[in-house]
Amino acid sequence: MKWTLPNTLTVLRLMAAPGVAVMFLYFQRPWADWFALVLFVVAAVTDFFDGYLARLWKQESKFGAMLDPIADKAMVIIALLVITGFSGMNPWILLPTTLILFREVFVSGLREFLGATAGLLKVTRMAKWKTTAQMIAIAVLFSTGAFETYIAIQTDGMNSGLVGDILAGKVPDTQGLVWKYWGMMISWYGGTGLLWFAAILTVATGWDYFQKALPYLKDKP
């Protein structure tokens, strides 16, 4: 293996995947949410540049081709596990996450079974779209966790009536609760919608791969 810049970026992205979860071990929220968001976004950006630079500089390699999808899957799976955890196992997050994880396991198993013929399951344009949608959804949902934590900390000890009056504008908003509330709501609905969209694309690509592999799964008469 040659340590070209594209390969180095891919390895760094793979190492960043568990780093997202580690942020919540060493930092308090909401700092952990912001650090995880920044790390995830930077790693996601390298997903574009490593492939682009490898093609531009003609540095494509088998190592990079092997590791790139692994790094992508590791990033998405670990980040979704973290988000599912801090969302309190919310079914609106849990269900699309389950669909995404099921598809990834299914396709990985399908490729392993096909062995030498796994090359027929080449990454499609739709598969690239689903990866992009997953990463954008995850980034948005990390910001939701940060906003939720800010609100929880700043409203600690307040009764619900006072919080409601602040959000309604009846009481001066000295802590910026209104913009944090709207940040939480917009990122929650936007991130959740994107996650469901990503889940639909994920299932569709999984079905497409299964259809392509089906002739190789039939027993000989």
Q: Is residue 221 part of a domain?
A: no
Per-residue model confidence (pLDDT) at position 120: 61
Could you give the dihedral angle defined by the CA atoms of residues 152, 156, 161 and 162, in that order, rounded to the nearest 10 degrees?
-100
The total number of structural domains that make up the chain: 1
Per the CB < 8 A criterion, the answer to whether 195 and 144 are in contact is no
Q: Check residue 131 and give its pLDDT.
A: 85
- Domain assignment of residue 179, given as a range: 5-215
Tens-digit pLDDT profile for residues 189-200: 999 999 999 999
Encoded tokens for 210: 């299964």
Closest CA to 119 of 127, 111, 129, 107: 111
pLDDT recorded at residue 128: 82
Quick check: is 75 in a domain? yes
220 falls within a domain: no
Residue-wise pLDDT for 120-163, tens only, equals 666 677 888 888 899 899 999 989 988 888 888 878 777 778 77
Domain of residue 166, CATH code: 1.20.120
Q: Which of 23, 77, 67, 21 is nearest to 46 (CA)?
A: 67
What is the predicted pLDDT for the residue at 219?
A: 67
Positions in the chain short of pLDDT 70: 1-2, 52, 54, 59-61, 63-64, 115-123, 219-221
From 188, 186, 184, select the one nearest 151 (Cα to Cα): 184
Residue 145 lies in a domain: yes
Cβ burial 12-51 (10 Å sphere, 16+ → b, else e): ebbebbebbeebbeeeebbebbbbbbebbeebbebbeebb
